Amino acid sequence: MQPSMRSPGAPEMEDTDDDMLDCLIVGGGPAGLSAALYLARFNRRFLVVDDGRARASWIPTSHNIPLFAAGIAGPDILALQRATAERYGARILNGTVSALGKEPGGFRATVVCGESESRELRARRVLLATGAVDNEPDMPDVPNAVQRGLVRYCPICDGYEAMNRKIAVIGFGSRGLGEAVFVARTYSRDVTLLTLGRPMELDDDQRARLAEYAVKVVEEPITALDLDGDKIAVMRTGSGQEHRFDVLYSALGMQVRSDLAVALGAEHDAAGALIVDDHNRTSVAGLYAAGDVVRDLSQIVVGMGHAAVAATDIHNRCELPTEDEPEWPTRARAECS
């Protein structure tokens, strides 16, 4: 039996196994929980399915969340959002959406809970807030360095706190070069790009950019590390050189968790990030996306904004059949090419 998922004071509805949700939210990170708050306050019947892998849970402290001048940890953001959404009757199911398909009138989702239990859900519309997973650097004897907080992944969020310190950026190619230059021109003129043994093969323009901001490049692999509490204190290369940094950032990119949408034929870029229109609708009628799964600036407040836009559009269009959705805007298609 599907519990009623309406905010306090909203009219109760009889629940049956065949109930059609107004919306299924896939993902319980900042974007998904923001959408849950909006839909709860719109008195919509919905469910959040959360697999517990929100990227925000890795954040030691974010300083770009308005109203938190001293910063706030990612797990605290999620706890506050969850409590707020649940205050208005939002229901959050711990599980994984393993399959998502279109059917007349909406979508059908298979949700796996635990090791073997599964259930089928039907929804008029679906909001994907599945996020992304950062690519971890291959550090000797230190697995999951990003998730453990030894290596950070967002200089936009906390680079200000590293102002004028010794900073290393782990990366290679245009992505690594771009982030190293960004950090150097914004926060510190003591920046080193660590390629972990990958050659850079720079052209003259790229060398000029690195020289302009005095970015150093170390192409040797890192063979050993010394840890000091919650930070990497010393990095040793194959030639025996030692490097010490105050802060390390990873610029190795991320894996966008867009498989459910891509399987339905949703437009996406080369990295798998979904292309959406001004209402955060994907190219699949009735399917919306918000947060890091969308091609946009990867920031918590951006994902929250996506969710607010998407949830409001879902509310306004909820009773309309998805088969009657207008053709996806040409502008959004053009952005894919």
Share of the chain above pLDDT 70, in %: 91
**Residue 4: predicted pLDDT:** 42
Average model confidence (pLDDT) across the chain: 90
Residue 80 has pLDDT above 60, yes or no: yes
Most confident of 147-156, 225-234, 266-275: 266-275
pLDDT tens digits, 213-264: 999 999 999 999 999 888 899 999 989 999 999 999 999 999 999 999 999 9
Residue 293 has pLDDT above 80, yes or no: yes
Instruction: Using pLDDT thresholds of 50, 70 and 90, give the confidence band for residue 13.
Output: very low
User: What's the token pair of residue 66?
Assistant: 């308005």
Residue 12 has pLDDT above 90, yes or no: no
**Residue 81: predicted pLDDT:** 98
**Residue 3: predicted pLDDT:** 40
Pairwise CA distance, residues 249 & 301, whole Å = 21
